[in-house]
Amino acid sequence: MPVVTSSLSRDQERNLLTLFGHVRLHLLYKGSVHGFTAAAFHSRCDQQGPTVIVAYNAAGFVFGAYTSKDYAQSGQEVHDGEAFLYSIAPQRNKPLRVGGISGQRAFTDGGTGPNFGALVFLCEDRPLVQSVPGTCFNFQAAEMHGNDLALTEFEVYRVEELGNLLEKPWRNIQWTAEKKQQLMTSIQNYLPDLKSVNQVRVLLVGPVGAGKSSFFNSINSAFRGNMTCQAITGTAGTSVTTQYRAYTIKAGRRGANLPLILCDTMGLEENADSGLNIDDVVSILKGHTKDRYQFSTCSSILEDSPGYKKHVTLNDTIHCVAYVIDTCKVSLLSQKMLDKFTAIRKKANQLGIPQIFVMTKVDEACPLVAKDLKNVYQSVYIQKKARQLSESLGIPLSFVMPVKNYSEELELDLNTDILLFMVLEQMLNYAESFFENQIKDDQDETTGLELYRSGNHAR
């Protein structure tokens, strides 16, 4: 007997799965194989628990209905607060999801094809759909199925919960004191591959309240060995940071500076005339902005501004951009905010500057991570948010790094430090890519600085 396979494309399946939590789909019934009849449907789909209908038409729509209840041919009206209709169309980036009308049934559990009021499938035992928007569910017919009610295929899947933790972590981490020490040593001993560069400069960019300043304070605390608050933090509706700050980090209270400078900025805001100005970001990227420059929401820095640095070297430019984003708000990023990220990314790409995305507040986003930070790469929710960020901004998942900042603690935590140090190590790795792309001559005629690769130091 031939194996019955799904007709869902990989993109369609991925879009469909976004409507659920951590689940897998088990194909129960396929119309073209088992027959487009109510009897065939019920023989394979009754008493199967939560199921989702997947209907296909020639217009390219994939649409259907989900219910958490059993089909049982009871003849009763079934109420299900979790039931919904959905539609996936080529012209849409995200699936359309339609919840039920309050107080009305989800479906009628009869002996016919699936009857969700607004959508009735397998009408007259044929591959047809009856569409009556406003009955149990309300939608625009053109958005749901493109007004094409003839089906090219009809499938039903059992929706199987897989729990809140992945079977295997999507990144393997060693949560040991030895790993922490290894990361610390690697970061402290790093030397840029260009003799003209003393320290890697990383620019922190993100929305108001994302945790940019807290991220620096957390890094600083982890290397100092005690809690610090050098960068001003807060929970105001507008950016607490109003100056451009280039922070050095010491290894211990009186130790040497790390080969890394974290540059903090004013928070991004949705409106074009508030928050960090995109033109200011470009000036920072090119190294023209002096430490403690006071940002203005009315105008960007100009060449005759007191905080403008006219003559810059590779030491002054940014070598890596880190976008800091609150994990709890990944799915709430507005189009205006995404457009600002895209604009900054475009400018950074033009300058050849690598970029990384830091997801903060993972403990606030997921109770399992709050309970044990070592669950961060096994949490279904955190992985889902990382994938959402990756897809919404068009970046590889490998660019996304989840972390927890120090916010309530008075003592350092091993696992928190390991996540923080992993981000720093990745920043240095990405900055190395930037240096490798620079033109290395024995002597740069413009700056008078050596830009050749140094091969006589230990990494």
Report pLDDT digits (tens) over 364-396.
999 999 999 999 999 999 999 999 999 889 899
Q: Which domains does the chain have, with CATH numbers?
A: 10-161 (no CATH), 177-436 (3.40.50.300)
- Report CA 324 to chain centroid distance, whole Å: 11
In what helix (H) or strand (E) does residue 51 lie, and over which residues does it extend? Answer: strand 51-57
Span 85-135, pLDDT tens digits: 999 999 888 999 999 999 999 999 999 999 999 999 999 999 999 999 999
Gyration radius of the chain's alpha carbons: 27
* Positive or negative: CA dihedral 178, 183, 184, 185: positive
Query: Are the C-beta atoms of residues 383 and 166 closer than 8 Å to each other?
Result: yes
What's the confidence (pLDDT) of residue 455?
Answer: 39
Q: What's the pLDDT at 240?
A: 63
Report the pLDDT averaged over residues 11-40: 94
Confidence of residue 67 (pLDDT cuts 50, 70, 90): very high
Q: Among 254, 298, 276, 427, which residue's Cα sits nearest to residue 355?
A: 427
More confident residue, 169 or 230: 169
Instruction: Say how far apart CA 195 and CA 56 lie, in whole Å.
Output: 61
Q: Sheet of 200-205: strands edge to edge?
A: 245-250, 257-264, 200-205, 320-326, 355-360, 400-402
Residues 306-313, mean pLDDT to the nearest whole number: 87
Q: Is the pLDDT of residue 453 over 60?
A: no
Q: What is the pLDDT of residue 276?
A: 85
Q: For position 234, what pLDDT does the model report? A: 57
Cβ atoms of 327 and 346 closer than 8 Å: no
Q: Which pLDDT score is estimated for 452?
A: 37
Compute the distance between CA of residue 190 and CA of residue 202 in angstroms, rounded to an integer.
15
pLDDT at 303: 80
Mean pLDDT of the chain: 89
Mean pLDDT in residue range 271-292: 87
Query: Does position 159 have pLDDT exceeding 80, yes or no?
Result: yes
Q: What is the pLDDT of residues 184-217, one digit of tens each?
A: 999 999 998 888 898 999 999 999 889 998 999 9
Q: Give DSSP secondary structure letters for 190-228.
A: ---SBTT-SSEEEEEE-BTTS-HHHHHHHHHHHHHTS--
Cα 68 to its chain centre, rounded Å, is 28
pLDDT reading at 64 higher than 60: yes
Whole-number pLDDT of residue 2: 60
Return d(Cα 219, Cα 448) in angstroms, integer.
34
C-alpha span between 61 and 95 (Å, rounded): 11
Structure tokens, 424: 């720093």
Q: Could you tell me what percent of the chain has a pLDDT over 90?
A: 70
Examine the pLDDT at 51 and tell me if it is beyond 60: yes
Q: Specify the pLDDT at position 147.
A: 96
**Quick check: 302 pLDDT over 90?**
no
So what's the pLDDT on residue 121? 98
What pLDDT score was predicted for residue 1?
47
